[in-house]
């Protein structure tokens, strides 16, 4: 089970057994009861036990498959303006991503790279075309990128000096998946 977002102040977007559900405070869906909802965390009751889950954190196991990164599908809500934003991790550290099918590779600002402990200034230097023009970039290798229980290893990322509100999840990650949009849901199914 994963907490993926809120709809107003009384409904949470939860991924339960790989399926996206909108759950109102006090309601129970597939054995998960939403007890309380905050801006970045939810309290759920599973099997009689309350658990606090933070927005985008690694999934809470419901007794099924483990969360060792061997998952096969990512289910994401499509937000306003068609943007898909989600929480995950890079090299085991929390990261906030925005899906960007126009980006060749994962891209981030220097502030995110520093927070993630990436030694980007030692990376390969180059130039990258962005919406704001051509900018200097450092290319680094990421050991792992994880969303929910799905992990992809050994990916490159570009680090730019400009501030960026999200880490862009580019095509070097997305090309490892079959992508489908179903209304307000985006499904990424990992390719064999």
Predicted confidence (pLDDT) per residue in 139-182, tens digit = 999 999 998 889 999 999 999 988 898 999 999 999 999 999 88
User: Which residues 6+ apart lie within 8 Å of 176 measured at CB?
Assistant: 152, 190, 191
- Evaluated on CA atoms 101, 102, 105, 108, the torsion sign reads negative
How many whole angstroms separate alpha carbon 74 and alpha carbon 161? 30
pLDDT value for 108: 96
pLDDT value for 57: 60
pLDDT value for 69: 62
pLDDT value for 59: 52
Tell me the domain boundaries of the chain.
2-54, 73-190
How many whole angstroms separate alpha carbon 55 and alpha carbon 59? 10
pLDDT value for 118: 95
pLDDT digits (tens, 9 = 90+) for 43-77: 888 877 888 888 766 454 444 334 456 778 888 88
Residue whose C-alpha is closest to residue 107's, from 167, 32, 48, 53: 167
Q: CA-CA-CA-CA torsion for 167, 39, 19, 45, nearest 10 degrees?
A: 140
pLDDT value for 63: 40
How many whole angstroms separate alpha carbon 75 and alpha carbon 123? 32
Confidence of residue 11 (pLDDT cuts 50, 70, 90): confident
pLDDT digits (tens, 9 = 90+) for 82-120: 889 888 899 999 899 999 998 999 999 999 999 999 999
Name the CATH architecture for the domain at 73-190: Beta Barrel (2.40)
């Amino acid at each position: 089970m994963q907490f993926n977002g809120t709809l107003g102040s009384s409904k949470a977007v939860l991924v339960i057994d790989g399926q996206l559900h909108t759950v109102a405070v006090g309601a129970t869906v597939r054995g998960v009861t939403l007890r309380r909802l905050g801006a970045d965390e939810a309290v759920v009751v599973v099997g009689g036990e309350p658990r606090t889950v933070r927005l985008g954190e690694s999934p809470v196991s419901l007794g099924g498959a483990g969360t060792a990164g061997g998952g096969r599908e990512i289910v994401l809500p499509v937000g306003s303006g068609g943007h898909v934003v989600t929480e995950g991790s890079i090299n085991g550290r929390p990261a906030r991503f925005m899906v960007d099918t126009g980006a060749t590779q994962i891209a981030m600002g220097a502030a995110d790279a520093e927070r993630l402990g990436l030694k980007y200034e030692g990376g390969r230097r180059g130039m990258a075309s962005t919406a704001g023009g051509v900018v200097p970039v450092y290319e680094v290798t990421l050991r792992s990128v994880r969303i929910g229980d799905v992990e992809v290893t050994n990916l490159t990322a570009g680090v730019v000096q400009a501030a960026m509100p999200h880490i862009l999840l580019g095509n070097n990650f997305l090309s490892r998946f079959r992508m489908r949009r179903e209304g307000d849901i985006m499904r990424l199914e990992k390719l064999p």
